[in-house]
Amino acid sequence: MNPILQVENLKKVYSDGTVALNNINFEVHPGEFIVVIGPSGAGKSTLLRCINRLVEPTSGDVVFKGKKINKIGARQVKQVRREIGMVFQNFNLIDRLSVVNNVLHGRLGYTGTIKGALGLFSKKDIAEAEEILERVGLSKQKYKRADELSGGQMQRVGISRALAQRPRLILADEPIASLDPASSKIIMDHIFTICKEDKITAIVNLHQVDVAMKYATRIIGIKSGEVIFDGQPSHLTKNIIDEIYSNAKQPLVNAQ
Ligand SMILES: Nc1ncnc2c1ncn2[C@@H]1O[C@H](COP(=O)(O)OP(=O)(O)OP(=O)(O)O)[C@@H](O)[C@H]1O
């Protein structure tokens, strides 16, 4: 099976000289549920953001479904992003909008922003958004304002918005970092089950190694912008975990 995503010699140096990613290489196959672990500042967020070009890589390639997405123009980026759903740590909802309208924002890549701003979504889109909300157990909350929800409920809206894009790949950046343990379990269960049922590939950044071990089909360990483990959870030994998290040195800074 062809990889859905290839990350090749990826490097990101921020304008202040911080080397956030250095020579990252891996392939992702359809159906994988990859968890990226690593200490704070390791480069996990930068990696996800380079994949969907929220951050421009300094060098190297990101190949999604055979297309180098770091070499395409803005219009094509928009098209590629439709197929890549993003779930954020702080949910990124629009507080004053209803739950269902937040979910419908996942359709903007298809309807266009002006129609979306006017709330001109098709009946089909609305029915689909409602179906997704039912799946994540939020039917009763669909007309509530987003800011009236609990954190766990907000994240379920975040997941629903990503699903409304009908993505082939979901990138989740610390989706449970702001949640209590009970809500965290609900969120991870939803992401895992939905990806499995809908055959969506996932890359999830997590701080918690135990949670990574529970859900991942593959774990990538990053430290100081470099991959130092890439394999099955059963191969992630205590020594390797210690190596990833111990002496988390400051990221390299380019000598200017
Ligand atoms: N816009 C930026 N400008 C300069 N440096 C940045 C920028 N964004 C991130 N960095 C730096 O790049 C490095 C990697 O950051 P990144 O946020 O990707 O790490 P992370 O593993 O996601 O950390 P955390 O788990 O704390 O979110 C860090 O040293 C960070 O300070």
The CATH number of residue 132's host domain is 3.40.50.300
Domain with 69, as residue range(s), is: 5-245
Residue ranges of the chain whose pLDDT lies below 70: 111-119, 247-256
Residue 250 within a domain: no
Q: Report the residue among 12, 36, 44 best suited for mutation to probe ligand 1: largest number of ligand atoms under 8 A from its CB.
A: 44
Residue 114 within a domain: yes
Residue 127 within a domain: yes
Closest CA to 230 of 247, 253, 212: 212
pLDDT tens digits, 168-189: 999 999 999 999 999 999 999 9
Torsion of CA 244, 209, 39, 218, to 10 degrees: 70
Residue 252 within a domain: no
Residue 251 within a domain: no
- ipTM exceeds 0.85, yes or no: yes
Residue 15 within a domain: yes
pTM beyond cutoff 0.90: yes
CA dihedral (100, 105, 110, 111) positive or negative: positive
Q: What is the 3-state secondary structure (H, E, C) of the chain?
A: CCCCEEEEEEEEECCCCEEEEEEEEEEECCCCEEEEECCCCCCHHHHHHHHCCCCCCCEEEEEECCEEHHHCCHHHHHHHHHCEEEECCCCCCCCCCEHHHHHHHHHHHHHCHHHHHCCCCCHHHHHHHHHHHHHCCCHHHCCCEHHHCCHHHHHHHHHHHHHHCCCCEEEEECCCCCCCHHHHHHHHHHHHHHHHHHCCEEEEECCCHHHHHHHCCEEEEEECCEEEEEECHHHCCHHHHHHHHCCCCCCCECCC
Q: Which residues line ligand 1 (CB under 6 A)?
A: 14, 16, 18, 20, 38, 40-46, 251
Task: Please report the pLDDT score of residue 163 as a whole number.
Answer: 97
Q: How many domains does the chain have?
A: 1
Residue 253 within a domain: no
Torsion of CA 6, 10, 14, 17, to 10 degrees: 170
Rounded to the nearest 10 degrees, the angle between the axes of helix 151-164 and helix 123-135 is: 140
Ligand 1 centroid from CA 223, angstroms: 12
Residue 254 within a domain: no
Task: Please report the pLDDT score of residue 28 as a whole number.
Answer: 98
Q: Report the residue among 21, 22, 46 best suited for mutation to probe ligand 1: largest number of ligand atoms under 8 A from its CB.
A: 46
Ligand 1 atom 29, closest CA: 41
